[in-house]
Amino acid sequence: MTTRGHAADRHVPVLRDRVVGLLGPALERPGAVYVDATLGMGGHAEAVLAAHPQAVLVGLDRDHEALALAGERLAPYGDRARLVHAVDADLEDVLDDLDLPTVDAVLFDLGVSSLQLDEDDRGFAYRVDAPLDMRMDQATGPTAADVLNTYEPGELVRILAQYGEEKFARPIVKAVVREREREPFTTSARLVDLLRGVVPAASQRSGGHPAKRTFQALRIEVNGELAGYEQALPVAVDRLAVGGRVAVLSYHSLEDRITKQVLTAGARSSAPPDLPVELPEHAPYLRLLTRGAEVPDEAETQQNPRSASARLRAAERTRDTTGTMRVSGSMRTTRTTRSTTRGREPR
């Protein structure tokens, strides 16, 4: 039993009602399967299960503490909720283990959770001094301190520039290398002080906290977030039954870019431009449900400031695909021949 309070008191699901509304039409049949690929503290999952009494949940999260809190929150739903300790990149294996060739709805709520931000000992927040950990699963893998202290300078520059979109990656890394030779990094305050000294004052005034981008980059590297999501989203689309829906909440441009590429690729024809008649296999297999990326309104951002950067995209599966399907502009072999029968309840 966790001692850190109740999930419902600590977590406000972003765009909760809109997410439930977008996924709802896919969850109206008995035994419809809803997959929450990034369960967190279970706020969206609770809302979906409450709104759709015939649906069942498969919830994935890598964070043991989040799973414990979500389990308490979802306990009233009994065996309608199946929680699995796994990362989103494991989605295909999880569905195979549960014998679910197709599912009806999938949600990705990406990024760092309120639980992880709120606990000082996790090291995600740059406004408090804490161990430089940043692992979503604290039982495995290198920490942010390990990355800072052991990676080659060129690799650190790549991570900060690519994952943090940090314009000052090179001078930051130069300072990090100099400081780690003097003494290894262990806590966030020392890194924040370094960043305050390296990032120009003008950029700090216009671009927000000087540690924001570096902490984002380290977190993504430590947890393999983008690589995992790039693997998981095509699997989610592939496993949707006809009429099934996928929704994604992203919180920075890198996540949103991946989402846009995968969903728009499925929503447009793959026929060559000079083909006089579009063959059935070239027809779109997704229908976009949002016009671009939707954002929270002012009332929600005032109530929950952490929602301000959220971007929501969603799509519906419109046809079966067999043989090959196009994802992010490339071809991949599908694992199964899809049936129009939707996924069944986990056993």
Q: Running DSSP on this structure, what letter comes out for residue 250?
A: E
Q: Which of 223, 239, 261 is the last residue of a domain?
A: 223
Kindly state whether residues 57 and 31 are assigned to the same domain: yes
> Which range is most confident: 6-10, 22-26, 203-207?
22-26
Residue position matching structure tokens 């390296």: 198
Q: Which of 183, 205, 223 is the last residue of a domain?
A: 223
Give yes or no for a contact between 245 and 25, defined as CB atoms under 8 angstroms apart.
yes
CATH of residue 91: 3.40.50.150
Tell me: is residue 71 an annotated ligand-binding position.
no
Q: What is the pLDDT of residues 147-185, one digit of tens each?
A: 999 999 999 999 999 999 999 999 999 999 999 999 999
CATH of residue 198: 1.10.150.170
Kindly state whether residues 104 and 87 are assigned to the same domain: yes
Residue 194 inside a domain? The answer is: yes
Residue 340 inside a domain? The answer is: no
CB atoms within 10 A of CB 290: 16
Kindly state whether residues 194 and 288 are assigned to the same domain: no
Q: Is 215 helix (H, G, I), strand (E, B) or coil?
A: helix
Residue range(s) defining the domain that contains residue 286 = 7-114+225-333
Residue 245 inside a domain? The answer is: yes
Kindly state whether residues 109 and 242 are assigned to the same domain: yes
pLDDT computed for residue 328 by the predictor:
33
Residue/partner pairs of 298-301 with CB below 8 Å, 24 or more apart: 300/14, 300/15
Q: What is the pLDDT of residues 188-237, one digit of tens each?
A: 999 999 999 999 999 888 878 999 999 999 999 999 999 999 999 999 99
Q: What is the mean pLDDT of the chain?
A: 86
Q: For residue 331, what pLDDT band results from cuts at 50, 70 and 90?
A: very low
Residue 345 inside a domain? The answer is: no
- Residues with Cβ within 8 Å of 149's Cβ and at least 6 positions away in sequence, in order, are 180, 184, 185
Q: Which of 201, 223, 245 is the last residue of a domain?
A: 223
Q: Is 236 helix (H, G, I), strand (E, B) or coil?
A: helix
CA 89 centroid distance within chain? 10
Beta strands 81-85 and 56-61 are parallel
Q: For residue 289, what pLDDT band results from cuts at 50, 70 and 90?
A: very high
Residue 347 inside a domain? The answer is: no
Q: Indicate if the pLDDT at residue 265 is higher than 90.
A: yes
Q: Indicate if the pLDDT at residue 122 is higher than 80.
A: no
Residue 341 inside a domain? The answer is: no
Q: Please report, for residues 30, 35, 38, 259, 297, the alpha-carbon distance to residue 294 in angstroms, rounded to integers and kept in the order given.
A: 30, 21, 19, 13, 9
Q: For residue 2, what pLDDT band results from cuts at 50, 70 and 90?
A: very low
Q: Running DSSP on this structure, what letter comes out for residue 345?
A: -
CA 126 centroid distance within chain? 21
Kindly state whether residues 105 and 234 are assigned to the same domain: yes
Q: Is the dihedral of CA 96, 261, 111, 45 positive or negative?
A: negative
Tell me: is residue 266 an annotated ligand-binding position.
no
Give yes or no for a contact between 31 and 344, defined as CB atoms under 8 angstroms apart.
yes
Kindly state whether residues 108 and 146 are assigned to the same domain: no
DSSP 156-186: HHHHHHHHS--TTHHHHHHHHHHHHHHS---
Tell me: is residue 90 an annotated ligand-binding position.
no
Kindly state whether residues 210 and 301 are assigned to the same domain: no
Kindly state whether residues 200 and 326 are assigned to the same domain: no
pLDDT computed for residue 333 by the predictor:
35
Number of structural domains (the chain) is 2
Kindly state whether residues 100 and 234 are assigned to the same domain: yes
pLDDT computed for residue 343 by the predictor:
36
CA distance 117 to 124: 6
Tell me: is residue 43 an annotated ligand-binding position.
yes
CB atoms within 10 A of CB 144: 25
